[in-house]
Amino acid sequence: MSEKASPTLIEESCDVPEWLNAKYFEEVLRKAKNDSTIKVRSINVRYALPKGENYASTIYRVLVEFHTKDQFAVCRSYIVKGMATSSMAEQKLGEYDVHAKEMDVYQLVIPEMKRLMRSIGDRSELYPKTLAIDRNNDVIIFSDLSLKGYIMADRTTGIDVTHTKMSLDLMAKLHASSLRLAEMYPTILNRFKTGMMTRETDAFYPMFYSNLDALTEEISTWDPKWNYYASKLRKLRPHFVEQGLQVFDHEKDDDLRVFVHGDLWTNNLLFKYDATGRPLDAVLLDFQFCCYGTPMIDLCYFFFTSTQDDIRQNCFEELMQYYYYRMTDYAKKLKCNKKLPTLHQFQQQLLRKLFYAVYSSFIALPIQMNEQTADADFEALMGDDERARRFKKTIMANRKYHKIIKGLLPTFDKKGLLDKLD
């Protein structure tokens, strides 16, 4: 089919690479479906997410109309995920090697973990299905799960207990299947070294410090009774990154070590609902910051960034126990040989890594709750110019965030998490 007969329609203001056209999708579909008769008639390309919903990727939704010798005018929707294209994003994210890592995950790890869960009778969706992993163009092409009814929850309000338990159950499946996978293929997970906080690169360190500084400055403008916490944060600052890095250090051989998602929050989960609005299933997306480490990375990050505030303030121990029983149950069904910790031992491991709750609440949560999207891009997140400083001031001035952090600061302080840790 000629290019003229296969138009590429691009939504206005959508910047699309030249190669992402009808001819390209014809080749992808022929290979994926093993059908050389496929002819793509047209594609329509638009951004899949609005500004402020994603910082590390460029994500397109592509509607493809094609036919084969057996079917005429079939329409399918796909998600095309590539690297963020700004020079700063390419530099910073390149040091994390996020996109090549994610391709490895979908090519080598996800298929095996899906197979393991199928072997114990789990037929849930778990992860998005890949149509193609294109290393030449640095993109991954997924089936569009929105067509099956999967949607994101509202990142600005947090998820309720039902959604939280469903998410923890999905996390338990991920972690338990990775325990068995590591037993079957002892080196398969060793390549995943660079989590969100890593000793491999300091590319994100300036952002960690600038967000902490912006929070400290914001707290110092509140009622004088909060000056105690602003002072605590100033004293914590020289130690903040190192204490975060220690969460990722593997210290004890008998500690749990699993395949960690690394960026497990509301926007990296999709939920499917019944006619009454009750969630039926959840799917986990986006493995750019995955690593091989303690499950506490995912547990703290998810719990403190994504739950409704009454859950965040009151239900931590209860929901960590829920996760523990789900994860150990799946591990036993998968016939993992590793001796699993008791609940008490698990809680001890969690306490040793609990500083990640501070990182998640101080650095990640205000970004994820932000509703002022004018400056919400990678440059504002990572930069140090006037626009970047304005963005960080804006996210810390969010009154919804103030309510949350005013509840957490005393809790963290009582646990000693705002002090230098030995």
Judged on CB neighbours under 10 Å (0-12, 13-18, 19+), 166 is middle
Q: What pLDDT does residue 210 have?
A: 97
Q: What is the pLDDT of residues 273-315, one digit of tens each?
A: 999 999 999 999 999 999 999 999 999 999 999 999 999 999 9
- Region(s) of the chain under CATH 3.90.1200: 91-414
Instruction: Say whether pLDDT at 120 is over 90.
Output: yes
pTM of the complete model: 0.93
Pull the structure tokens for residue 183: 């037993």
User: Taking 50 as the threshold, does the pLDDT of residue 197 lie above it?
Assistant: yes
Average pLDDT, the chain: 93
CA distance 22 to 27: 9
Please check the confidence at residue 5 and state whether its pLDDT lies above 50.
no
pLDDT tens digits for range 30-89: 999 999 999 999 999 999 877 556 677 889 999 999 998 877 788 999 999 988 767 888
Ordered DSSP codes for 149-209: TEE---TTT-B-HHHHHHHHHHHHHHHHHHHHHHHHSTTTTTT----SS-SS--TTHHHHH
- Token couple for 237: 């600052």
Read off the pLDDT of residues 236-267 as tens digits, 9 standing for 90 and up. 999 999 999 999 998 788 899 999 999 999 99
Q: What percent of the chain has pLDDT over 90?
A: 84
- On the question of pLDDT at 203 being above 70, the answer is yes
- Rounded Cα–Cα distance for residues 137 and 58 (Å): 13
Between 2.40.160, 3.90.1200, 3.40.30, 3.90.1530, what CATH number should domain 91-414 receive?
3.90.1200
Q: Tally the residues of the chain.
A: 422
pLDDT given for residue 83 in this prediction = 80
Mean pLDDT of 355-373: 95
In this predicted structure, the answer to whether residue 191 has a pLDDT above a threshold of 50 is yes
pLDDT for the residue 254: 87
Q: Residue 134 belongs to what H/E stretch?
A: strand 130-134
Considering 6-20, 72-86, 404-418, the range whose residues carry the highest mean pLDDT is 404-418
* Terminal CA-CA length for the chain: 67
